[in-house]
Copies of this chain bind each other. A is one copy, B any other.
Amino acid sequence: MRGRNPRKSANPSLAQLADFKVGVDNVIFSVDTAQNRLLVLLVMRHEDPFMGQWSLPGTLVRQGESLEDAADRVLAEKIRVENLYLEQLYTFGGPNRDPREAPTSYGMRYLSVSYFALVRFAEAELIADGVSGIAWYPLQQVPPLAFDHNQVLEYGYRRLRNKVEYSPVAFEVLPELFTLSDLYQFYTTILGDHFSDYSNFRSRLLKLGFLHDTGVKVSRGAGRPASLYRFDANGFAPYKDKPMVFI
C-alpha cells in the first residue's frame, strides 16, 4: 500500500502537480584560434516543433539517465572530442516555453536544463550523418533559434566570459603546446580586443609560474619564432580553488 503512490489519495493537492519531460540543451563553444573566431555549435531541427530551424543541440532525458549523462550523450552524438569542459548553466522551466505544451497534451510540461561546454576546436570532429545539418556558427552570425535558445545562448556567452576570466579553462581547450600569442589570441577572441596589453598579459602570466617554457621554437610566417609553452598543473596547484584573475 505504502510504496505504490502513497500520497495520491491522502493529499488532494497532488492532483495539481505538473508532469514534466526534461530536456537538456548544450551551449557548446569552441575557439578557432587560427581565424580568431568564437564559434557555437548549432543543429538543424528535423522535427516539429520548429522544424527546419537552427537550435542548440539537445535531447530529452531518458529513464535511468542523469542530467549530465544526457548532456554528454548529446555531445557525443554530434562531435568526437577528447578534451572538453562541461558544466551546468541554468534551468528554464516556465510554462509555455515549449509549443508542445499544448492544451491537448494533458498539461505535460517541458523543462530544459542547459549545459555549457567548451571544446578543443582542432580535435572537435563534427559527426555528419549525411542528413542532419550541423555547423559551427560564429557568434555574431547566429540566426534566430528554436525555442528560447537565443536567450540560453546569451546566458552561456556570459558564463563563458566569466569562466575564462576567473579560471584556467583556457588550458583545457588549447593545444598541449601553445605560444603565448596563441594564449593571448584566445583571450582576445572571447573577451574582445582591449582586455589587456600583450606585454603586460605576458609578464603577469609568466610571473604566476605555471607556464613551462619547453624551449622549442616555432616560426609562423615572418617574425621572430615563439617559444612553445606547456601548462604545468603542479605549478598551478597553489592557485587551485582560489579566486584568480586572468584578465
Contacts and interface: CB of A to CB of B under 8 A. Distances in A.
Interface string A25-65: 00000000000000000000001100000000000111111
Contacts of A66: 93-95
A102 interface: yes
A9 to B, nearest CB: 13
A107 interface: yes
B93 A67 contact: yes
Residue in A21, A47, A63, A105 whose Cβ sees the most chain B Cβ within 10 Å = A63
B105 A63 contact: no
Interface string A2-21: 11111100000100111111
A22 interface: yes
A18 B64 contact: yes
Nearest to A107: B63
B47 A67 contact: no
A111 interface: yes
Nearest to A91: B91
Contacts of A109: 22, 61, 63
Contacts of A22: 18, 20, 22, 93, 109, 111
Contact of A91 (B17, B48, B63, B113): B113
B21 A20 contact: yes
A164 B95 CA distance: 31
Contacts of A19: 19-21
Contacts of A107: 63
A186 B95 CA distance: 38
Interface in A74-105: 88, 90-91, 93-95, 102, 104-105
Contacts of A61: 17-18, 20, 93, 109
A17 B23 CA distance: 10
Contacts of A113: 91, 93
Interface of A: 2-7, 13, 16-22, 47-48, 60-68, 88, 90-91, 93-95, 102, 104-105, 107, 109, 111, 113
Task: Please name the 8 residue pairs, one residue from A and one from B, whose CB atoms are nearest each other, closest first.
Answer: A66-B94, A20-B20, A67-B93, A91-B91, A3-B104, A18-B63, A16-B62, A4-B104
